[in-house]
Amino acid sequence: MRPGGVSRVLLIEDDPAVREGLELALTLHGYRVRAVESGEQGLERLRADLPDVVVLDLMLPGMDGFEVCRRIRAAREVPIIMLTARGDDMDVVAGLEAGADDYVVKPVQPRVLEARIRAVLRRIGRDQAELERYGDLTIDRAGLVVAKGGVPVSLAPTELRLLLELSGTPGRVHSRQQLLESVWEHGYFGDSRLVDACVQRLRAKIEDDSAAPVYVQTVRGFGYRFGPV
């Protein structure tokens, strides 16, 4: 959220009708929207505008949305909501693994997209106190900083939120549905792909061996827990 309460949205969508409709709807909801039609233009505006959230169509001409997503994630830890023309499992999983935080299936209902944007901005805007240490992992809830062995770890917003949620109650088992509701703040009943993909990315960043995790552990048949460490 910017000073004055105006959040900046970068919308990358090649379909003129969809782009213009979403730009108008989000503007009417109080967002400052920069709408572009290609991945290349989106990457340029990412550097120039420093948006608070990116809404990214996966099916772009030229540089596709998956590559754009990877490049955005490599450049900045800004939340990314991807738009997919269908609920295709492979597209959704590939997008999440590329670094997206959430997804909306087309045709997009503006009120649904706006609710997802509000949710992701609310998640990253929460501020919790206390510095916590777990082995060589340090979590600064007030500063939203995670370090491993004293070296800061760059986490995407949803990865950070998931870590904060799990570490808030060490040893407690969280079901995937509970994590969907608390971390993503919407139903997606039964859609565990969001959680599993995020866990995979988080482990790759904080575990010494993601195949034998110490911090984010799987409890088969139930979900995930933090620790013991």
Express each pLDDT in 157-214 by its tens digit.
999 999 999 998 888 999 999 999 889 876 555 578 889 999 999 999 999 999 999 9
Q: Quickly name the fold that domain 131-226 has.
A: Arc Repressor Mutant, subunit A (1.10.10)
Q: What is the pLDDT of residue 156?
A: 92
> Which stretches in the chain have pLDDT values below 70?
1-5, 86-88, 124-130, 186-190, 228-229
Please give the biggest Cα pair distance in the chain.
52
Q: What is the pLDDT of residue 125?
A: 63
In Å, how far are 80, 125, 150 from 103, measured between CA atoms? Answer: 8, 20, 33
Half-sphere exposure of 137 (CA within 13 A, CB side): 23
Q: What is the pLDDT of residue 93?
A: 85
In Å, how far are 18, 38, 213, 228 from 202, measured between CA atoms? Answer: 33, 29, 10, 17
Rounded Cα gap, residues 49 and 59, in angstroms: 23
Rounded Cα gap, residues 160 and 38, in angstroms: 29
Q: Quickly name the fold that domain 8-125 has.
A: Rossmann fold (3.40.50)
Q: What is the pLDDT of residue 213?
A: 95
The residues spanned by each domain of the chain are 8-125, 131-226
Q: What is the pLDDT of residue 26?
A: 96
CB 18 within 8 A of CB 106: yes
Q: What is the pLDDT of residue 132?
A: 85
In Å, how far are 117, 126, 205 from 101, measured between CA atoms? Answer: 11, 16, 16
Q: What is the pLDDT of residue 167?
A: 92
Residues facing residue 218 across a β-bridge: 224
Q: What is the pLDDT of residue 5?
A: 59
Rounded Cα gap, residues 102 and 83, in angstroms: 9
Q: What is the pLDDT of residue 11?
A: 98
CB 219 within 8 A of CB 173: yes
Q: What is the pLDDT of residue 133?
A: 84
What is the enclosing helix (H) or strand (E) of 53? strand 53-57
pTM of the model: 0.62
CA angle 123, 70, 178 (to 5 degrees): 35
